[in-house]
Amino acid sequence: MSRILLLNKPFGVLSQFTGEPGQRTLAECVTEKGVYAAGRLDADSEGLLLLTDGGALQHRLADPRHKQVKVYLAQVEGLVTPESLARLQAPLDLGDFVTQPCRAREVAEPSWLWPRTPPIRERKAIPTSWLRIELREGKNRQVRRMTAKVGLPTLRLIREAIGEWSLGDLQPGEWRVG
């Protein structure tokens, strides 16, 4: 039986165990041997990353054809409008592909949120908002590209859940067996 580990990937850490000198990798968080990331999360994104020791399971978890729902919390620059939400939820042409419809809604800043190191840039004259976005795909930098396309650049991005697995109370760098 394959194992699944749930990791709260910290900001600035690559979704792999090796990197160039000076790059932060999963090796600083996960001491288990023989596990590999099932999917990716950009170094400048935080949150849930699944790891497994089973190649078939890794493929199933990462393969877009299996359509695991991924839930993201995005802190964006600017105020969310009904128009920006409607555009996010509809197919959105990002140039190299058109997104599938998704769910998006404005939410309050999560009360359980940990501080980010380094903190996001803040501008006194420009407010920020939070979005909860649910996708069944997950192309490279998709959420960031989607929010930018509708005029709400992403300042902070946290993956909260993938399918049946969620962060729960994991703090950055912590992991548990799923």
Contact 76, 154 (CB under 8 A): yes
Nearby residues of 62 by Cβ (< 8 Å), 6 or more positions away: 38, 39
User: Which candidate in 42, 53, 63, 96 is catalytic?
Assistant: 42
Q: Which residues contact 11 (CB under 8 A, 6 or more apart)?
A: 43, 44, 45, 46, 116, 117, 118, 172
**Whether residue 42 lies in the annotated active site:** yes
Full DSSP string of 78-127: S---HHHHHHHHS--B-SS-BPPP-EEEEEPPPTTPPPPSSPPP--TTS-
- Asked whether the beta carbons of 138 and 99 are under 8 A apart, the reply is no
Residue 3, both tokens: 């194992």
Assigned token pair, 52: 């497994």
Catalytic positions, written as ranges: 42
